[in-house]
C-alpha cells in the first residue's frame, strides 16, 4: 500500500475550462482554514472560462494555454507540465476541465491528478452525467472525487457522496443538488490528502484515521 502524499500543506494547480464553482469552493475552504492548501495557479484551455476571471479577482495567477497552438496532445501537455513543475505543484485538481489527460501529464504527476465527476462512478461516465442518471431512472445519484488515469472517469475513487433524485427533478435541479455536494467533497478529499491519510493499493483507496495507522 502506498501513501498518496505525506502530510503537509498542499501546493495546488487547478485546471478548469468553464464556470469554476468547484474552484471557488476550494478557495473558500482555504479561506475558512478547513483546507491546508494554496492554489498557486489556475490554468485554462479556454480563454473565455469564467474560472479565469474568478481566479484573477482572488489574486491567483492565471494561465491560458491554448491546445490548438500545439502539434498534438503530447506537445501541449509537455508545456503544461513544465509550467506546473516550475511552480512546484504537489497536486493537480481538475475542476470542469473538458479534456482527457494523457500519458505525458500522468507520468509527470503519477497519482497526483484529481477529478470530480457529477455521478456515482462507475455509473454515468462522460458528459451530461446528471442527464444520463435522470434518463436511466436511478433513485440515487451523486458525485465522485477520483484519481485520474488515462480513461474517461475511470480512475481510483477517493470519496463519493450520494444525492437523491426526486420525481420533480429536471437536469438543472438535479445538477444543482449534486453541485452542492461536489463543493463539499472536493475540499474534504484534498484535506484528507493534506493530512497524509490517503493510501492506495491497486484500484482501492484507503482513508486512514491518522497518518500513522
Residues at the site binding ligand GRF, with contacts judged by CB under 6 A: 16, 18-22, 95-96, 116-118, 179, 182
User: Minimum distance between the CB of residue 6 and ligand GRF, rounded to whole angstroms?
Assistant: 28
Shortest CA distance to 87 belongs to which of 57, 72, 108, 67? 108
Following CA atoms 64, 98, 70, 56 in sequence, which dihedral angle do they give, to the nearest 10 degrees? 0
User: Minimum distance between the CB of residue 95 and ligand GRF, rounded to whole angstroms?
Assistant: 5
Q: Return the residue nearest ligand GRF (CB atom).
A: 96
113: left (phi over 0), alpha (psi -120 to 50) or beta: beta
Closer to ligand GRF by Cβ: residue 84 or 121: 121
Closer to ligand GRF by Cβ: residue 116 or 157: 116
Give me the DSSP letters along 192-204: HHHTT-EEEETTE
Closer to ligand GRF by Cβ: residue 34 or 98: 98
User: Minimum distance between the CB of residue 195 and ligand GRF, rounded to whole angstroms?
Assistant: 23
Closer to ligand GRF by Cβ: residue 116 or 159: 116
Query: What DSSP designation does 89 have?
Result: -
Residue 146 is a catalytic residue? no
Which residue of the set 117, 128, 146, 183 is catalytic?
117
User: Minimum distance between the CB of residue 185 and ligand GRF, rounded to whole angstroms?
Assistant: 10
Contact (Cβ atoms closer than 8 angstroms) between residue 197 and residue 6: no
What is the C-alpha to C-alpha distance for residues 121 and 118, in angstroms, rounded to an integer? 9
Q: Catalytic residue positions?
A: 117
Amino acid at each position: 500500500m502506498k501513501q498518496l502524499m505525506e502530510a503537509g500543506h498542499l501546493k495546488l494547480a487547478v485546471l478548469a475550462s468553464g464556470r469554476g464553482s468547484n474552484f471557488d469552493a476550494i478557495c473558500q475552504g482555504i479561506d475558512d482554514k478547513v483546507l491546508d492548501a494554496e492554489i498557486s495557479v489556475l490554468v485554462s484551455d479556454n480563454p473565455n472560462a469564467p474560472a479565469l476571471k474568478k481566479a484573477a479577482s482572488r489574486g491567483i495567477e492565471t494561465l491560458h494555454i491554448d491546445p490548438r497552438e500545439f502539434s498534438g496532445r503530447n506537445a501541449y501537455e509537455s508545456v503544461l507540465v513544465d509550467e506546473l513543475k516550475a511552480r512546484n505543484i504537489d497536486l493537480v485538481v481538475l475542476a470542469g476541465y473538458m479534456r482527457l489527460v494523457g500519458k505525458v501529464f500522468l507520468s509527470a504527476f503519477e497519482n497526483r491528478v484529481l477529478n470530480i465527476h457529477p455521478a456515482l462512478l462507475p455509473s454515468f461516465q462522460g458528459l451530461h452525467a446528471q442527464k444520463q442518471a435522470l434518463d436511466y431512472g436511478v433513485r440515487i445519484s451523486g458525485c465522485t472525487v477520483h484519481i485520474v488515469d488515462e480513461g474517461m472517469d475511470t480512475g481510483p475513487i477517493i470519496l463519493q457522496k450520494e444525492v437523491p433524485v426526486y420525481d420533480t427533478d429536471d437536469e438543472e435541479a438535479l445538477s444543482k443538488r449534486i453541485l452542492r455536494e461536489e463543493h463539499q467533497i472536493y475540499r474534504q478529499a484534498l484535506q484528507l490528502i493534506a493530512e497524509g491519510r490517503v493510501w492506495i493499493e491497486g484500484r482501492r483507496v484507503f482513508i486512514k484515521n491518522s497518518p500513522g495507522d
